Structure 1
Amino acid sequence: MVILFLTIKQLDKVYLIGCGRNAAEVNQYINDHGKYAVGGYIVDDNYITATEKTDQPIFSLTNFLIATPPQASIYLLNAIGDPKRQDIIEKLTAAGYQFINLVHTHSYISNALTIGIGNCIAPFSVVNFNVTIGNHCIINTSCSISHDSVLEDYVTLSPGVKIAGNVRIGKGVFMGIAAAVIPNITIGEGAYIAAGACVTKDVAPYTLVGGVPAKLIKKLSF
């Protein structure tokens, strides 16, 4: 099967969802390509004060929908690290906007990758053979994902996360800095893995685990 990638090189401008410090990093990744610029930032209507000073416009979701309706030349990319980004992304998807995958040129990506849309893979990350990545995931700096592993939608990997082979990471999972997972593990939907944790057994959905080896800290409610 041939996988067709829509790369950032085909774009003139990309609008980022979010305008915090993670968005500043994603902006830099786009600038690293040398030709393309961020057209602006989109934030939730309840997000009153922007945390990032930028040279590009910052739109509330409602204003963006009015000022910049979907068209062939407009592309979006998530830049919110929190898995709760799902709500604003679903609204923009329902409105008909297109999302891209941004894969930094200083990462290694196997040609046997299966990938959805709206994903960001940061510099110095490694995605190995037969990995599947869903939609709107963030794979941060210096992460590694080994063979046959699956990341479902809206997964966030903080810098330095290491995932061994045949691991399944559920929808909306957040993994803290330098967390690691041994082979053949399943992490349930909505789980949070604390920074530096080593996961050696399956993690139940909507739980917080941490430590070496990782143990249950508390159940989460959403």
Structure 2
Amino acid sequence: MYLFGASGHCKVIIDIIASTPDLTIEGIVDDHPKHDDIFTIPVYNTKIFQTFSDKQVIVSVGDNSTRKKIVNQLLAQYPIAVHTRAIVSNHAFIGEGTVIMAGAVINPDAVIGQHCIINTAAVIEHECKISSFVHISPQAALAGDVTVGEGTHIGIGAVIIQGIKIGKWATIGAGAVVISDVPDYAVVVGNPGKIIKYNIEHE
């Protein structure tokens, strides 16, 4: 397995892989490497690889839009990485390339899309639907039947009440309490959450 991206987010994924006996990281690749290794794992320039089509790769980039761009350009095999101290229901679905950090909880009938980040101690309750390229930050909590659109970022410690629908490429600020639906591209902060502006469209 290779990690694509040598940022701080990469270090957390290294810990996830280290907790999983049947996965081993052969190397880390980056377009502009700043280090020769991270935790003794070698870092390579992407230019030395002719293809990734025969390799297992996790895109270890925290920014959602950058992660999507890399995936769209990179033909590879994308495994799932789940920390052994995460709790994932046997009745949840996890899409390829998604990473789940220590302490996270994903409950029954939750559906997590491709290349998502479910960060440390985040809670995804029953029947939530998380689209691809979403980042759920540490200790964010989504109650049952919440829907989150593609590319949205749920900030650290945010709380989303049951049944809420959040659009694509929205941003929910740290500690926000969301009690009403959120449209595409909206930036929501505060308690109760209020829209303060809109992100530039990513499409």
TM-score, scaled relative to structure 1: 0.84
For residues 18-62 of structure 1, the C-alpha deviation after alignment (integer angstroms, 9 at most, x for no partner) is: 11111011111211235643222233x4xx353795233333444
Kept after mapping to 1: 8 A contact 2:33/2:44: no
Kept after mapping to 2: 8 A contact 1:21/1:52: no
Q: Does 1:123 align with 2:105?
A: no
Kept after mapping to 1: 8 A contact 2:6/2:33: no
Q: Secondary structure at the match of 2:26?
A: strand
Residue of structure 2 in register with 1:177 after alignment: 156
Matched AA of 1:15 = Y
Q: Which runs of 5+ in 2 are unaligned?
A: none
Q: Does 1:86 align with 2:73?
A: no
Residue of structure 2 in register with 1:6 after alignment: none
Q: Does 1:162 align with 2:144?
A: no
Kept after mapping to 2: 8 A contact 1:168/1:187: yes
Matched AA of 1:86 = K
Q: Secondary structure at the match of 1:153?
A: coil
Q: Distance in 1 between matches of 2:190 and 2:52?
A: 47
Kept after mapping to 1: 8 A contact 2:171/2:187: yes
Q: Secondary structure at the match of 2:191?
A: coil
Q: Distance in 2 between matches of 1:38 and 1:30?
A: 7
Q: Indicate which of 180, 188, 193 corresponds to 1:209.
A: 188
Within 5 Å, which residues of 2 pair with 1:142-161?
Answer: 142-161=121-140
For residues 102-160 of structure 1, the C-alpha deviation after alignment (integer angstroms, 9 at most, x for no partner) is: 11111111111122201101111111111111100000010111111100000001100
Residue of structure 1 in register with 2:56 after alignment: 75
Q: Which runs of 5+ in 1 are unaligned?
A: 1-13
Q: Distance in 2 between matches of 1:63 and 1:217?
A: 44
The number of residue pairs the alignment matches comes to 199
Residue of structure 2 in register with 1:59 after alignment: 44
Q: 1:51/1:210 Cα in 2 relative to 1: closer, same or farther (>3 Å)? A: farther
Q: Secondary structure at the match of 2:71?
A: helix
Q: Distance in 2 between matches of 1:113 and 1:167?
A: 14
Matched AA of 1:70 = S
Residue of structure 2 in register with 1:19 after alignment: 6
Within 5 Å, which residues of 2 pair with 1:39-54?
Answer: 39-43=26-30, 45=31, 48-50=32-34, 53-54=37-38
The percentage of counterpart residues that share the same residue type is: 33
Q: Secondary structure at the match of 1:22?
A: helix
Runs of 4+ in 1 over 6 A off after TM superposition: none
Q: Secondary structure at the match of 1:87?
A: helix
Within 5 Å, which residues of 2 pair with 1:106-121?
Answer: 106-121=85-100
Q: Distance in 2 between matches of 1:106 and 1:142?
A: 10
Q: 1:69/1:173 Cα in 2 relative to 1: closer, same or farther (>3 Å)? A: closer
Tell me the C-alpha RMSD between the 2 structures.
1.8
Q: 1:18/1:52 Cα in 2 relative to 1: closer, same or farther (>3 Å)? A: farther
Matched AA of 1:197 = A
Residue of structure 1 in register with 2:178 after alignment: 199
